Amino acid sequence: MVSKLPDGNPQAPAWQALATLQQAEVSTPLAQRFADDPRRAQRFSRELGPLFIDYSKQHISDDIAQALLALASAQELPDKLRAMHQNEATNNTEGRSANYRALRAWACKQHSDDRDIDAMYQHMAQLANQLRSGEARSATGARYTHIVNIGIGGSDFGPRLFTEALQEHGDSAFSVHFLANIDPSCANQLLATLPPESTLFIIASKSFGTQETLANAAAARDWLQQALPGKDVYEQFIAITSKPAAAAALGVKEARILAVPDWVGGRFSVWSGFGLAVAANYGWEAFCDILRGGVEVDEHVANSPLADNIPATLALLDVWYRNSWGFTSQTVLPYCHRLKQLPDYLQQLFMESAGKAVERDGTALQRASGGVIWGSEGTNGQHSFHQLLHQGSDVIPCDFIAVLQAERPLADQQQALLANCFAQSLALMNGKAAADIEQELLAAGENPASAATLARHKAMPGNRPSTTILMESLTPRALGALVALYEYRLICASFVWNINPFDQWGVELGKQISRQLLGAMQGESTSGLDSSTEQLLARARQALK
């Protein structure tokens, strides 16, 4: 493994080279690079399965790519990917493997040598098929019409994203809903819309100890018991978990407990049994196609030299911006309403994984690791935060994601959507000089004094980088490839930073304190708390009594 910064270590020259290149690049207009090289778009674009990825509007050149590859080699990225694919305990703080390729690979042969994986998918297929065919019935003998996935974080974002994304493409069998937050409004509002005699609840919790999920499961059970007196309402529950005993203790029938291997991390779990709502709703084949889309990316990563590895290239750009340019955030802008959940999904994937300040061996990182990732669907964002993307004092690299074909075209709306998407990356790159704007204003009759001032307000700095990802249509396969692309991008960047992206210790303290404060709110002693927390609790107690 690579030793520490700063001096005399093998990575320092790579970082130095990148710092020097950044100094030159910052004053090289991206538009100039296109003018100098008519083949730039082709040279910095790649096909990856159903995806087309154009990163030519990024601050990339042959020299920069070479320096980034040198960094990746110094940080042993290829070895770390290989170790992960060989089931090594890549998640070193929990002593677990993180080989999601082994999960997805099941879809190609419908078999795995790993008995846990095999058992999980066989059980999952059976449950999905029974639900979809109507063989599985509710406590009243009714066919299910509604499914509610009760889960939070990784037990919610993935199935929610896939369910929404395939809404128009797939042959949906149920009305699928998601219940995540512990806020009582969520359960109350949702339950009020559901038919109790034909609603199935999936309790999705890897740990089966998550406060929000257990509270919402209890609310669903109480609601069913009230609506269906005398019925065994546990007939209407399925559990997905790596703690089957805890699900059984709650009352879920053994045959309805889908066991997931415990090395599968929440934010990587949509490929596993946690995708049950998706498989039941769109059918087992559609779910397997999602996995097969992921497999195309697995094969690409496993078999490509680093220089041709697309997720690694995108990851190295992320590292370059974070560490050499000092950018603190990046944004994901799906120009596809069906992918509007993608930014939320990626927030957990990237920020729960790369929000770390120590290296794998626990020593303090000497460079920044993951920054903020955020975004929302286009074109809505154009009428909101894009102002900051274009003229704000921070540079925020953008990912534009577009699906070329609409499922159901509406006049020329799909062309307009795509035109908007492409216009944004062009405007970000080219900008518009104050001098040109001033000339236009003068030509339009503006007086010279105000023309100069107004031109400064209207000027667009340009040179703002972006990647555009296209796919023909939002099929299960394209969806799987897209999500796997981002998964590997996050993993590759984390390996370059030498952090463990597979644990999330930072979320534990808040959970522990919230349990303590719940006790305090219910009358336990508050001694030892600071006066601010004391006064907040006092107000809550007063309001809730």
Residue with tokens 């522990």: 512
Cβ at position 482, least distance to ligand F6P in Å: 20
Q: Which parts of 337-376 interact with ligand F6P (CB under 6 A)?
A: 352
Interaction with ligand F6P in 140-169: which residues (CB under 6 A)?
Answer: 152-155
**Among positions 213, 369, 467, 468, the unique one binding ligand F6P when judged by CB under 6 A:** 213
DSSP 171-208: ---SEEEEE----HHHHHHHHTTS-GGGEEEEEE-SSS
CA angle 497–501–506, rounded 5-degree value = 110
Nearer to ligand F6P, 412 or 508 (CB): 508
Which lies closer to ligand F6P via its Cβ, residue 97 or residue 138?
Answer: 97
Q: How far is the CB of 219 from ligand F6P (least distance, A)?
A: 16
Choice between 512 and 522, CB closer to ligand F6P: 512
Q: Which of 109, 383, 457, 545 is catalytic?
A: 383
With respect to ligand F6P, which residue has the nearer C-beta, 41 or 507? 507
CA distance 372 to 348: 10
Least distance CB 372 / ligand F6P (angstroms): 18
- Residue 104 binds to ligand F6P (criterion: CB under 6 A): no
Would you count residue 205 as binding ligand F6P (CB under 6 A)?
yes
Cα dihedral value 180, 184, 190, 192, nearest 10: 160
When binding is defined by CB under 6 A, the residue of 206, 221, 322, 386 that contacts ligand F6P is 206
- For residue 233 the two structure tokens come to 């309402």
For residues 267 and 100, what is the distance between their CA atoms, to the nearest angstrom? Answer: 11
383 assigned to active site: yes
Nearest CA-CA partner of 505 in 374, 365, 355: 355
The sheet that has 175-179: what strands, in order across it? 175-179, 146-150, 199-204, 237-241, 257-259
Q: How far apart are CA 268 and CA 262, in angstroms?
A: 12
Region near ligand F6P per CB under 6 A, out of 131-139, 207-215, 288-296, 443-451: 207-215
Q: Is 135 a catalytic residue?
A: no
Residue 97 found at the interface with ligand F6P (CB under 6 A): no
| Other beta carbons less than 10 A from residue 76's beta carbon | 18
Residues in the chain: 545
Rounded CA separation 14/323 (Å): 12
Interface with ligand F6P, residue 210, by CB under 6 A: yes
352 is catalytic: yes
Residues in 458-477 that interact with ligand F6P by CB under 6 A: none
Question: What own/partner pairs with CB < 8 Å and gap ≥ 24 does 190-193 have?
Answer: 190/148, 191/219, 191/220, 191/223
Residue sitting closest to ligand F6P (CB): 266
Of 393, 385, 391, 394, the closest CA to residue 456 belongs to: 391
Sheet strand arrangement including 51-54: 45-48, 51-54, 466-471, 398-403, 329-335, 372-374
Tokens found for residue 6 = 């700063």
Binding mask 234-273 for ligand F6P (x = CB under 6 A): --------------------------------xx------
* Site for ligand F6P contains 514 (CB under 6 A): no
Q: How far is the CB of 290 from ligand F6P (least distance, A)?
A: 19
Catalytic residue among 197, 352, 359, 377: 352
Residue 471 main-chain phi, psi, to 5 deg: -145, 150
Using rule CB under 6 A, residue 513 touches ligand F6P = no
The one-letter code for the residue type at 354 is: A
> Closest distance between ligand F6P and the C-beta of residue 213, in Å?
5
Stretch 421-460 residues interacting with ligand F6P (CB under 6 A)? none
Q: Does 500 participate in binding ligand F6P (rule CB under 6 A)?
A: no
CA distance 6 to 249: 53
* # chain residues binding ligand F6P, by CB under 6 A: 14
- The nearest distance, CB 266 to ligand F6P, in angstroms, is 2
Distance of closest approach, residue 246 Cβ to ligand F6P, in angstroms = 10
Beta carbon of residue 352, minimum distance to ligand F6P (angstroms, whole number): 6
- Pick 207 or 535: Cβ nearer ligand F6P: 207
Q: Provide the binding-site residues for ligand F6P, judged by CB under 6 A.
A: 152-155, 205-207, 210, 213, 266-267, 352, 504, 507
Residues belonging to the active site: 352, 383, 511
